[in-house]
Amino acid sequence: MNNYETVFISTPVLSSDEYSKTVKKYTDFLEKNGGKLVSKEDWGIRTLAYPIQKKTSGFYTLIEFQIDGSMIKKMEVEFKRDENIMRFLTVSLDKFAVKYAEGRRARLSGKKTEKTEA
């Protein structure tokens, strides 16, 4: 299984319930297809750099996960079909990016990492 990270932007007209269901749809997709969710971060509503579908803001979500590489294409098809998703980007994480992501999560949770202890 490979490590991946996806950031997607949901339309800002969603209620908090609809937004939660949209995020849950993709975390469930990962688990149903043999993937493992490593972390999920809701970055909240943010202003876009340029309008997308005549909208100037959106809900940003980052999910980090492990899954077989063949499932990425299927997940991206689901993103394209979902009218609540305005944009998405999936990247493969190498061992250095995985280590960096672990440190970032530790900093966000307030824990010390090996790098900060020294």
Buried-exposed string 38-71: b where 16+ CB fall within 10 A, e elsewhere: beeeeeeeeebeeeeeeeebbbbbebbbbbeeeb
Distance CA 95, CA 87 (A): 26
| Position 112 confidence tier, pLDDT thresholds 50, 70, 90 | low
pLDDT digits (tens, 9 = 90+) for 55-111: 999 999 999 999 998 999 999 999 999 999 999 999 999 989 889 888 888 888 876
- What percent of the chain is predicted at pLDDT more than 90? 78
CA dist., res. 36 & res. 10, Å (int): 22
Q: How confident is the model at residue 115 (pLDDT cuts 50, 70, 90)?
A: very low
Is residue 36 within 8 Å of 66, Cβ to Cβ? yes
At 14, give phi and psi (nearest 5°): -75, 145
Kindly list the domain boundaries of the chain, sorted by start residue. Answer: 2-117
Query: Which CATH code of 3.40.630.10, 3.30.830.10, 3.30.70.60, 3.40.50.1820 fits the domain covering 2-117?
Result: 3.30.70.60
Residue 29 has pLDDT above 90, yes or no: yes
Helix axis angle for 16-32 and 70-81, nearest 10°, is 160
pLDDT at 14 over 50: yes
Q: What pLDDT is stored for residue 65 in this prediction?
A: 94
3-state secondary structure of 115: helix
Q: Do the Cβ atoms of 37 and 3 come closer than 8 Å? A: no
